Amino acid sequence: MSTQGAEYVRDQRYLTTRITADGRDGFPVEPGRYRLVVSRACPWANRSVIVRRLLGLEPVLSMGICGPTHDERSWTFDLDPGGRDPVLGIERLQEAFLARDPDYPLGITVPAIVDVPTGQVVTNDFAQITLDLSTEWREHHRAGAPDLYPEGLREEIDEINAGVFADVNNGVYQAGFARSQGAYERAYRRLFARLDALSERLGTRRYLVGDTITEADIRLFTTLVRFDAVYHGHFKCNRTKLTEMPVLWAYARDLYQTPGFGDTIDFAQIKEHYYVVHRDVNPTGIVPLGPDTSGWTTAHHREELGGRPFGEGTPPGPVAPGEAVA
C-alpha cells in the first residue's frame, strides 16, 4: 500500500506468471503441484477461496491459510502447528517470494500460488488467478461446476468488474487511507454512487451478469461481506451500513447463504486483521465486538427474482477437511 500525496494508490505490480493448461509460461496445470496461499481476512484472497471451492479444485490445488495479522515483512503461518506451513515448510510467505527472487522488491501479498517442488511463488496476480482457475484448470473442475466466466458474457463481466474494482473494492481503501479531507470525500462519493448504481441494477435481477453466479458477483461479495464489520467504521465509509441498503443487503445475504460463499467467511479474523494491522488508522489496536452478524442467515427472498445460482450445475459439496471456518 502507498500514498501519492493525499490519494491512496494501490501498488498493482504483481508476479504475473500464469499457470496454464499449455504451460506457456513454464508452469503447466498439474494436480498436486501448486499450493494456494491465502488469508481469510483478505478480500482479494477470499475471491480465490470461493472460486476454488465452487469449482471443486480442492483435490488438485491445496490451500495454506495464513493468520489474520502480519508485520511489515510478511504474512505468517501462525495458525499452523509450530507456526510453519505443513506443505511448504515455511514460517513466512516472504520465504516463497525470496525463493523466486532473492531481491524481490515488491509487496508480499495474498493470494499467492506457490510451486511446491521449488518453493517459489509463481503468481500473486489476484485478478488473473481466479480467471485462470475458471478457464485454465477446467479439466480438473468437479462434475457440476458452474461456469463463472462464461465466454459470451466476458465483456460485460469485465466492464462490471472494472467499475466495482475502481469504486468499491479499492474505493473503500481509498477512503480509509486518504491523507486529506478532499481525497477522502472524493473516494467516499465514488463509493456510494457506485453502490447506488449497483443497487438499482440488482433491484430487478438476482445476479450482476446473466442469471447465474459469475466472477462479477464474487468480486463484489468479498467487499460487501466486510462492509459493516470493517469499512463502515474503520474506513469511514459511513453514509449507510450494508444493512441499511435493502437491495444490496438482500443480495449479499443470498450469496452468503449459497454454499461456497458464507462458509469461507471468518468475521473474527477479518476484524482482527484490519483493526490490529492498520495502526495508522486505529492506533490502539482495539478490535470492536460488533456488529451482530446473526442477520446474515435471515431470509432474503431474492429467489423471487428467478435466476439459477449454478446454472446447469450443482452446489459444491461439504467443506474440505481442515478448511472449515471455526
CB neighbourhood size of 157 (10 A): 21
**Identity (one letter) of the amino acid at 85?**
D
Name residue, grid cell 504451460.
23
Q: Is 137 annotated as a binding residue?
A: no
Neighbours of 300 (CB within 10 A): 17
Does residue 66 carry a catalytic annotation? no
Question: Per the residue annotation, which of 8, 34, 149, 173 is the catalytic one?
Answer: 173
The DSSP result for 71-91, as a single string, is -SS-BB-TTSGGGS-TTT--S
- For residues 250 and 302, the answer to whether their CB atoms sit within 8 Å is yes
φ, ψ of residue 7 in degrees (nearest 5) = -85, 135
3-class secondary structure, 146: coil
Establish whether 207 is a catalytic residue. no
Torsion of the alpha carbons at 170, 171, 176 and 182, rounded to the nearest 10:
140
Of the listed 42, 188, 274, 275, which one is catalytic? 42
- Binding site members for glutathione: 75
- Binding site members: 75
Which residue numbers are catalytic?
42, 173
